[in-house]
Chain A
Amino acid sequence: GAGVSQSPSNKVTEKGKDVELRCDPISGHTALYWYRQSLGQGLEFLIYFQGNSAPDKSGLPSDRFSAERTGGSVSTLTIQRTQQEDSAVYLCASSLDEGQGYEQYFGPGTRLTVT
């Protein structure tokens, strides 16, 4: 079937505005992960879901960041009152379940620019 999709592909926003990033995982994948990647850097773990539950939110950088997943499928990452340091590529990935988390399938990412 289709791979992981993310929208929008690019988002430019003004400092202080809220943004929502969307992720559609591979159909049937119960585990979903959010990462962010700054230019030339590794991937920074943010949060993961198993079904609709988020067992690990330890990577969320501040309380301005939140995420939810509904129906065991689509997930939304929300950043409130964006700051310039939030500028990065936000990547979503899914795996068959958390036990198969070593093999994650990534979406193309959302490039967020905060001006």
Chain B
Amino acid sequence: GQSLEQPSEVTAVEGAIVQINCTYQTSGFYGLSWYQQHDGGAPTFLSYNALDGLEETGRFSSFLSRSDSYGYLLLQELQMKDSASYFCAVRAAGGKLIFGQGTELSVKP
């Protein structure tokens, strides 16, 4: 079977750093993607890790450890506009994505 686990909710204050963890168990694994979705909006791509290590894109970084079947998304200098749901997604064979249930991030002033 295939399953991804991520926290359902995270709360942080503006300017802080928050880490959203994702563990996965899948029959095929090519990499881990992260997507952001604002209420009522379409998911948008944030980052992708195919290999172990840290990928940095501006205020957002993503990490992968294939041996631990674990990854995380790190958001720095949090802003109110970062309040959204964040999904990790395993890239399986053929390019299809298997999504986690999402983590709702609330940024407080």
Contact = CB atoms under 8 A, between A and B. Distances in A.
B83 to A, nearest CB: 15
Interface residues of B, number: 23
B48 A103 contact: yes
Contact of A100 (B43, B95, B96): B95
Interface in A25-57: 31, 33, 35, 41-45, 48, 50, 55-56
A50 to B, nearest CB: 7
Contacts of A108: 41-42
Interface stretch (B12-20, B73-81, B99-107): B99-107
Interface stretch (A11-19, A80-88, A91-99): A91-99
A29 B15 CA distance: 38
Given A101-B91, A102-B33, A103-B33, A91 B42 contact: yes
B94 A48 contact: yes
Given A42-B100, A103-B48, A98 B95 contact: yes
Contact of A31 (B87, B93, B95, B100): B95
A100 B45 CA distance: 12
A-side interface size class: 20 to 34
A41 B95 contact: no
Interface in B40-99: 41-45, 48, 50, 87, 89, 91, 93-99
A101 B101 contact: no
A102 B97 contact: yes
A95 B97 CA distance: 12
A102 B48 contact: yes
29 contacts: A31-B95, A33-B96, A41-B102, A42-B102, A43-B89, A43-B97, A44-B99, A45-B96, A45-B98, A45-B99, A48-B94, A48-B96, A50-B95, A56-B96, A59-B96, A91-B42, A91-B43, A93-B43, A95-B95, A101-B96, A101-B97, A102-B30, A102-B33, A102-B95, A102-B97, A104-B97, A106-B43, A106-B44, A107-B42
Given A42-B99, A97-B95, 9 more contacts: A33-B96, A42-B87, A44-B99, A45-B97, A99-B95, A101-B95, A102-B91, A103-B33, A106-B43
